[in-house]
Structures are given as structure tokens and as C-alpha cells.
Structure 1
Amino acid sequence: MGFPGTWMTQSESVVYRVVPKCACSTIGQIMYYSDHGAFFDGDIHDAKGGMHKWALEDSQPMITSNVKAHQSYAFTCVRNPYTRILSSFFDKICGIQRNGKRYRGNLVPLLIQKYGIDVGGPDGKQDFDQIKSFRRFLLFARDTIRWRRPMDPDIHWSAMSGHVSTFIVNGGTYDKIVWTEKFNDGMEDVMKAIETPHAVNIADIPRFNESEGHGPKRAHPVEDYFDDLSMHLVREIYKRDFDLFKYDFDNPGNKMPIAEIDLDEVHKKLGD
């Protein structure tokens, strides 16, 4: 299986396991800048050079040998499950993507038909009941994760622990797990721990939010989207994420972590 979703700088200064919807565009650009002294011109996900990625066949042997021997500092980044699933909904379901089309072609028509979801019209710009629509999407996300129907779960809303675990199961070890909510602090820890060809001042790095502007703006506070049933569904899907990455399940309005991540616990529980 190898190391899907793993990126590494060409200088092999650092290894990163991508978790979708968790600042991955910004992290990729920081890694690129640390090697080249300039940002990649475009969405870092589209870069076919300047960085090793598991998706590029030529990079796979180098990533494999580095990770298995733990030659470089390795990290990943996680986010509050409540805000992550909301972000996925507005970006991937309601939004028009970079190519000018809906995400995954027939996915949105399927959701409109089978789950009664509204996405704000053809361009996503009309008013619609965001809370009602999101809760129906949550049912769909649960169905994909629990029963793999009407389709397999998408990487943008499958549990973070699943992404994080493949790296461990196949022989990798994390030195750090960064919280998106404490991004600068976490990334400064990463930068202090490694040596890069070009110095990076995290405070000066712009945010590369490639999904921004794809979909409608969130009209309500996070907690308004989650009633008792929605929280039950979220627990069913993301219980392990809350437990391992120390987020507050009981209060959807609190996006901040409530305890320190125990790396030993993460490796033990996700390494089976």
C-alpha cells in the first residue's frame, strides 16, 4: 500500500502526511518555499515537480526509504471534526470547483435527488436553508462511511484518523501532529525541528486557502448546524478523531482542542 497522501521536500528536510481540509494547501506551500525560496505558482496540489509526492511514481521509492527508516522529521495536521465537515459541505457540495464544474460530476445531482439537499441553485449563489441542507448532507456522509453507499466515502469527509493511520500502519512514525486551530504555533515547532535550504518565517506566510470562494459563505455559527441528531451522527463518524486529537465533542461551538495530543496513544491505536 505504501504511503498515500504523503509529501516530502526535495531536500528531504521534512515529510508530511496530507489530511484533506486541514490547511494542506498552506503546508504544501511552506514546504515548497523552504526548498526553493519561492511559492509554487498555482495550487500546490497541481504541482508535478519541486516536491516529492506519493502520487508521482518517481517519488515513491524515495518516500518509502525515508519514511521506513524515519530519516526525516514527519508530521501531519488535523482539524476540529465539526468545522471540517462543515467546510467540506460548503466547498465540495455547494461550491463550483476550479474547473468551473461541480465536484465529482454527478455527485450533487445525486444528493439533490436522493437526500433532498439544496445547494443554492446552479451557481451556488442563491439563498437556501443551509442548516437543513447540511444536516441532510451529514446523513449522506454517514451512509458513505458506514455502508459505502450510495458511494465510497470521499477523502474530504472520511475520518482524519483513517488518513493519519495509513502512514503508521505501513511503517511511518510521526514526530508532531499540528492543530489547524493553533497552526502558527504548530508549524513553528516543525520549522524549529528541521533544517531547510531557505528560512521560513511562519508569521509571514499567507494562507493558501484554495477552496475559499468556491461555495456560499456560512450564514450561522458552527453550533447552529448541529442539533442532537446531527451530533449523534458526528459521533458515529468521527468518535476516534475527537478522542485521539483531543477535540470537544460536547460543544460544537468550541473549535479549540481541550487537551494535548498523546503521540504514543495515536501510534498505538492507529497502528493496528
Structure 2
Amino acid sequence: MGFPGTWMTESESLVYRVVPKCACSTIGQIMYFSDHGRFFDGDIHDATTGLHKWAQEASQPLIEANVKAHRSPAFTCVRNPYSRILSSFFDKICGIQRNGKRYRGNLVPLIIQKYGIDVGGEDGRAEFDQIASFRRFLLFVRDTIRWKKPMEPDIHWSAMSGHISTFIVNGGRYDRIFFTEKFNEGMQSVLNLASLRHQVDLATIPRFNESEGHGPARAHPVEAYFDDLSMHLMWEIYRKDFQLFRYDFDNPANKLPKGDIDLAEVHARLGD
């Protein structure tokens, strides 16, 4: 199994378990900068040099050896499940991707046909009922996660705890898990653990939101998208995420966590 979704600086100063839709573009660029003194020119997900990634075969033995010996600080980042799933919807379902096409080819037509969602027409620019469409998308998400139908769950909406657990189960230990909503504070706590080739000033680092502009802007506050049924589905899908990462399930309007993450509890519950 190894360590899927894991990135490591070439200097082996930092090890990061990627969680999609949780500031991963910005984190990857910070790691790249800390080694090279410059940012990667383009989307960091497209980089094939300058950063070790588990998806690159040559990087795998280096990452595995480092993680199993815990030679470097290992970390990841989480986000409020309500805003994360909304971001996935507007980016991946409603948006046109970098290649000028819909995400995953026939995925969007499939959901339009089977769940009756609207995505704003061919280019995603037409007006549509965002709330009704999102709630139908959430039914689709639940079906993929609970029954793996009509397809396997996608990494962008599968639970954060699932991504994070693979690192633990296969022999890794996290030194930090921080909140997207408190990014500078959390990222600084990680950088403080590492010996970096190039110092990073988080106050001046741009945010690399590679999904921005892919889809329509969210027209309503987060809480408007979640009625009682939607919240029931969110609990069914993301219960562990709310519990382990201390997010407020009862109030979708509160994006901030209610407390600190207990790393010992995360390792115990996700290490089975």
C-alpha cells in the first residue's frame, strides 16, 4: 500500500500527506519554495521534478524510508467539511477544468442524468438553482461513499479521515495536523519543526487557489445549502471528520473548529 498522496521536499525537510480541497496547492508551493527559493511555475500538482511525490515511482523508496524512520516532521491540513464539500461541488462538478473539459469526462453528465442536478449549462455560466443542485449532488456523494454506486468515491469528496488514515495505518506518524481556517498559524508551527534551505515568510506568500475561477461563484452563505436532510447526510458521510477535527456539525455557519485536534486520538482511531 505504501504512502499514497504523500509529498516530501527533495531535501527531506518536510513530509506532507495531501488532503484534497485543504490548501494543498499552497502547501505544495511552500514546500517547493523552501527547497528552491522560488515557486513552481504552474500548478504544483503538475510538477514532476523538484518535489518528491508518491505518484512518482522514483520517489517511493525515498518517501517510504523517511516516513518509516520518522526522519522528518510529517503533517497534514484539514478543513471544515461543510465548506470543503461545497468547494468540491463548485470546482469539480460545476466548473470547467484546466484542460478545458468537464471533470472526469462523463461524470457530470452521469450526475445530471441520474440525480437531476444543474451545473449552469455547457460552460457553467448560466443561472441555476445552486442550493437545489448541491443538495442533489450530496445524495450522489453519499451513494458513492456508502455503496460505491454509481461509481467509487472521488478523492475530492471522500472523507478527510480516510485520506489521513492511510499514512498512519502504513506506518507513519503525524507531528502536526492543522486547520485551513487558521492557515498561517498552523503552517508556521510546521515550519518551526524543520530545517529549511530557504526561510518562508507566510505573511507574504500568495495563496495558490488553483480551483478558483473554474466554476460559478457561490451565491449564498454556507449555511443556506444545508437543510435538515443535508445535515443528516453530512453526518452519515463525515461523522469522523467532524468528531476528530473538532468542527461544529450543529452550525454550518461556524467555519472555525471548536477545539484543538488531539493527535493521540487521531492516531488511535485512524490507526486500526
**Same fold by TM-score greater than 0.5:** yes
Which residue identity lines up with residue 81 of structure 1 in the other structure?
P
Q: Does 1:24 align with 2:24?
A: yes
1:27-176 matches, cutoff 5 A? 27-176=27-176
Distance in 2 (CA, whole Å) between partners of 1:77 and 1:155 is: 15
Q: Residues 249-269 of structure 1, C-alpha deviation per residue, up to 9 Å, x if partnerless?
A: 000000000011000000000
Q: Does 1:231 align with 2:199?
A: no
The amino acid of 2:62's aligned partner reads M
Structure 2 matches for 1:175-214, cutoff 5 A? 175-214=175-214
Measured after TM superposition, the shift of residue 192 of structure 1 is 1.1
Structure 1 unmatched ranges of 5 or more = none
**Distance between the aligned counterparts of 1:114 and 1:215, measured in 2?**
21
Measured in 1, the distance between the counterparts of 2:195 and 2:258 equals 31
The letter for the 2-side match of 1:90 is F
CA distance in 1 between counterparts of 2:265 and 2:13 reads 26
CA-to-aligned-CA distance 1:12-59 (integer Å, 9 cap, x gap): 001000000000000000000000000000000000000100000000
Q: Distance in 2 between matches of 1:68 and 1:89?
A: 36
Q: Secondary structure at the match of 1:216?
A: coil
| Amino acid in the other structure paired with 2:36 | H
String of CA shifts for 1:203-256, please: whole Å, max 9, x gaps. Answer: 111000000000000000000000000000000000000000000000000000
For 2:5 and 2:154, the matched residues in 1 are separated by: 14
Deviation at 1:178, TM superposition (A): 1.2
The aligned amino acid for 1:107 is L
Partner of residue 240, structure 1? 240
Shift of 1:88: 0.1
- What is the deviation of 1:173? 0.2
- Aligned-residue sequence identity (percent) comes to 78
The alpha carbon displacement at 1:131 in A equals 0.1
Give CA deviations for 1:100-145 in whole Å, capped at 9, x if unaligned: 0000000011111000000000000000000000000000000000
Aligned equivalents of 1:259, 1:24: Cα separation in 2: 22
Residue ranges of structure 2 left out of the alignment (5+ in a row):
none
Q: Please tell me the residue identity of whatever aligns with 1:258.
A: K
Query: RMSD over aligned Cα, in angstroms?
Result: 0.3
**SS of residue paired to 2:16:** strand
Runs of 4+ off more than 2 Å: none
Give me the whole-angstrom Cα distance separating, in 1, the residues matched to 2:194 and 2:109.
Answer: 46
The match for 1:5 is: 5
Shift of 1:193: 1.2
